[in-house]
Amino acid sequence: MGEQLEKMYDVELKPGAGENYVCNLTKPEFAEVMATDIPKEPLPDHEMVPVALKKLDQMRKERKSVQLYLDICVRCGACIKQCHYFIGTGDPKNTPVGRAELLRKVYRAHFTISGKLFGSLVGAQKLTPEILKNEWYKYFYQCSECRRCSVFCPYGIDQAEITMAGREVLNSVGLAPKYVTQVISQVYKHGNNLGIPEPAFKYNCQFLEEEIKESTGVDVKIPVDKEKADILYLPPSADLFTNTDTMIGVAKVFHAIGADWTMSTYASEAANFGLFFSYDDLKTINLRVVETAKKIGAKLVIFGECGHAWRAARQFMEAMNGPLPFKFMNILEFTADLLRKGKLKNIDKSRNDDVVVTLHDPCNYARAGDLVEETRYIIQQVCNNFHDMDPSVTKERTFCCGGGGGLLTEELMELRMKGGLPRATAVKEVVEAHGVNYLAAPCAIDKAQLPLVMQHYNIPVQVGGIHDLVGKALILEGQEEFEAKKKAEEEAAKAAAAAVPAVCGLCDAEFASMDECCEHAEKEHKISKEQCDMACESKEGAGAAAVPAVCGLCDAEFASMDECCEHAEKEHKISKEQCDMVCESKQ
């Protein structure tokens, strides 16, 4: 481990530092359309506690993992320094065990015998509206559910399960964040997180088709709403908004193998914010995908570069929405497989020689999606320069970008930057050691969050996807001919420009011959032919006094036209006949 990373773990304690970070509350119109039944606004205080306790009881009974994790934690603290929000803020409540303790103390008081008998002696505390509003609502939205703590827990406790249960309890009393409910409501209305309406979605795809055509000369299709297709592709909708190079890379891959694929405006989003909010919404959002795949007869559903989408699909779709009449996989598995089998034939790695790449493992790929080798394999197949970060912070030990878990919202910006510190520190090390200038981040949340983090910590890297790199290196059929033709045309145009024989030195007008140029000068600028000399121009036209003549080829100045002409003849081998005042040859 490098010195900077090592030092990062020395965290100065700042109790209460996290108390200022709180998510804006949902608007009633968003709360109303959630699949899970939640009040439109926070319940009055006297109603909160019984409703919350009922929900908590339901959670622990329905989710065996929650009950187990509530009971078996021995508070050893192994998780504390592994949490990016703790490292960034120093707030002891902002640790995996500290956050879970906010719920465990209530659980003990209401649901365990020792807690009921001995109360605070055994760390039990009865639930109050203040605990819900000031502790749970603040701190359960300062966990990005990245699950790094679970890797370091000797019992394997996944504190994110407790965060998720805690958030469901908060929903039941109307303490829900606007960012998450708005995004989910946009999925229900428009099929995607960004709320891109159908006409705009289709226009965006057409626009990208034209962009590919302009740069490659190849008709690559980005199909939307085909009635039948073998493959249903789900992009993060940000790939149709900001991360368009990722979308282009994916479209090129499908084109190269002649895939029968489509996207759908009903399910135009890979992401599933239900994972950050409620099982009911998680299931409902996944259902849109399942219904669409069935309708179009897809044999394969492919999820785009999006971390938590992959977890929502891989760990929940079959269980919640199955049995599924199709297979599903991640685009990174798909492309890696094509590369392994040699199906993407024409790859020119040198087209990525302008970048030195490192990889950020999205938390949900690495710790919930079994997706750590394919990412590296693809990068190394399409790039010559790749350097991994320190092994203590890659693969299943990867650090969160600081914006996952439903926290990618403006009001949490300060917390997001603090939470991004560990990732930034690791990136800085490879930038300094290897000159890394491209941070590959195959997840839409990363692509939004990491550029801000890198800017915040002054780390000069570009953030982009993996398929952005694939798209650059993958040469399509017909592309090389197009590029050769384009290059020839550009050179011809350049030569043609150079061939323009005369340009007026006073107004840049172009002429086919010197004579025409002189006529123009005489008429428009009132300059007599006598004053003219090829490649020599007066800076002030006819009335030039101070510097009567300047050589048009080398800017040398002369006291008289005659001297200038002599210079032109000697130095530039131009005869006096070729000279005419204010007309200069581009040669």
Partner 1 sequence: MAKTLKVGDRELELDEDGFLKDPSQWDKEVAEAFAREEGIELTDEHWEIVNFLREYYQQYQIAPMIRILVKEVGKKLGPEKGNLKYIYKLFPNGPAKQACKIAGLPKPTGCV
The b-or-e profile of 433-472 (16+ CB within 10 A means b, else e) is eeebebbbbbbbbbbbbbbbbbebeebebebbbbbbbbbb
- Helix crossing, 159-172 with 64-72: angle to 10°? 120
209 binds partner 1 (CB under 8 A): no
Residue 90 or 191 having the CB closest to partner 1: 191
115 binds partner 1 (CB under 8 A): no
Three-class secondary structure of residue 242 per DSSP: coil
| Interface pattern 335-354 for partner 1 (x via CB under 8 A) | --------------------
Q: How far apart are CA 437 and CA 587, in angstroms?
A: 41
CB 587 within 8 A of CB 558: no
Three-class secondary structure of residue 339 per DSSP: helix
Least Å from the CB of residue 407 to partner 1: 12
Interface of this chain with partner 1, residues 443 to 462, rule: CB under 8 A = 444-445, 447-448
What letter does residue 227 receive in the DSSP assignment?
Answer: S
Three-class secondary structure of residue 18 per DSSP: helix
Which one-letter amino acid corresponds to residue 206? Q
Which one-letter amino acid corresponds to residue 463? V
Question: What's the angle, vertex CA 164, arms to CA 158 and CA 166, rounded to 5?
Answer: 110
123 binds partner 1 (CB under 8 A): no
Query: Which of 131, 246, 237 is CA-nearest to residue 192?
Result: 237
What letter does residue 241 receive in the DSSP assignment?
Answer: T
95 binds partner 1 (CB under 8 A): no
183 binds partner 1 (CB under 8 A): yes
Binding segment for partner 1 (CB under 8 A), chosen from 100-108, 134-142, 200-208, 356-364, is: 200-208
313 binds partner 1 (CB under 8 A): no
Binding segment for partner 1 (CB under 8 A), chosen from 131-139, 192-200, 385-393, 485-493, is: 192-200
Burial class (CB in 10 A: 0-12, 13-18, 19+), 211: middle
Residue 413 or 506 having the CB closest to partner 1: 413
Name 142's Cβ contacts closer than 8 Å, sequence gap at least 6. Answer: 18, 21, 85, 89, 94, 99, 407, 412, 415
Using the Cα atoms of residue 32, residue 38, residue 44 and residue 45 in order, give the sign of their dihedral.
negative
Binding segment for partner 1 (CB under 8 A), chosen from 198-206, 280-288, 294-302, 367-375, is: 198-206
What letter does residue 132 receive in the DSSP assignment?
Answer: I
Residue 149 or 175 having the CB closest to partner 1: 175
Least Å from the CB of residue 410 to partner 1: 5
Q: How far apart are CA 449 and CA 456, in angstroms?
A: 11
Residue 229 or 248 having the CB closest to partner 1: 248
469 binds partner 1 (CB under 8 A): no
Least Å from the CB of residue 176 to partner 1: 15
The DSSP H or E segment spanning 244 is: helix 244-256
CB 259 within 8 A of CB 291: no
Residue 73 or 184 having the CB closest to partner 1: 184
Interface of this chain with partner 1, residues 242 to 281, rule: CB under 8 A = 242, 244, 271
Residue 118 or 203 having the CB closest to partner 1: 203
Q: Which of 119, 123, 197, 541 binds partner 1 (CB under 8 A)?
A: 197
Q: Which of 48, 164, 165, 240 binds partner 1 (CB under 8 A)?
A: 240
Residue 105 or 447 having the CB closest to partner 1: 447
Name 407's Cβ contacts closer than 8 Å, sequence gap at least 6. Answer: 23, 141, 142, 144, 415, 416, 419
Q: Which of 207, 460, 491, 560 binds partner 1 (CB under 8 A)?
A: 207
Residue 221 or 295 having the CB closest to partner 1: 221
Residue 409 or 531 having the CB closest to partner 1: 409
State the residue for tokens 């990889």. 359
Residue 357 or 401 having the CB closest to partner 1: 401
Binding segment for partner 1 (CB under 8 A), chosen from 7-15, 46-54, 193-201, 343-351, is: 193-201
**Structure token pair of residue 93:** 């409540």
Least Å from the CB of residue 258 to partner 1: 26
CB 272 within 8 A of CB 285: yes
| Interface pattern 404-443 for partner 1 (x via CB under 8 A) | ----xxxx--------------------------------
Q: Please state, as a whole number, how many other Cβ atoms lie within 10 Å of the Cβ of residue 120.
A: 12
Q: How many residues bind partner 1 (CB under 8 A)?
A: 36
CB 254 within 8 A of CB 205: no
Least Å from the CB of residue 452 to partner 1: 10
Query: Which of 304, 434, 420, 447 is CA-nearest to residue 358?
Result: 434
Least Å from the CB of residue 270 to partner 1: 10
Q: How far apart are CA 397 and CA 388, in angstroms?
A: 13
Binding segment for partner 1 (CB under 8 A), chosen from 95-103, 136-144, 194-202, 364-372, is: 194-202
Residue 24 or 392 having the CB closest to partner 1: 24
Q: How far apart are CA 88 and CA 9, in angstroms?
A: 10
Q: Which of 19, 41, 47, 211 binds partner 1 (CB under 8 A)?
A: 211
State the residue for tokens 């081998």. 573
Q: Which of 89, 171, 172, 186 binds partner 1 (CB under 8 A)?
A: 186
Interface of this chain with partner 1, residues 371 to 410, rule: CB under 8 A = 408-410
Residues binding partner 1 (CB under 8 A): 24, 178-179, 182-183, 186, 192-197, 199-200, 203-204, 207-208, 211, 236-238, 240-242, 244, 271, 306, 408-411, 444-445, 447-448
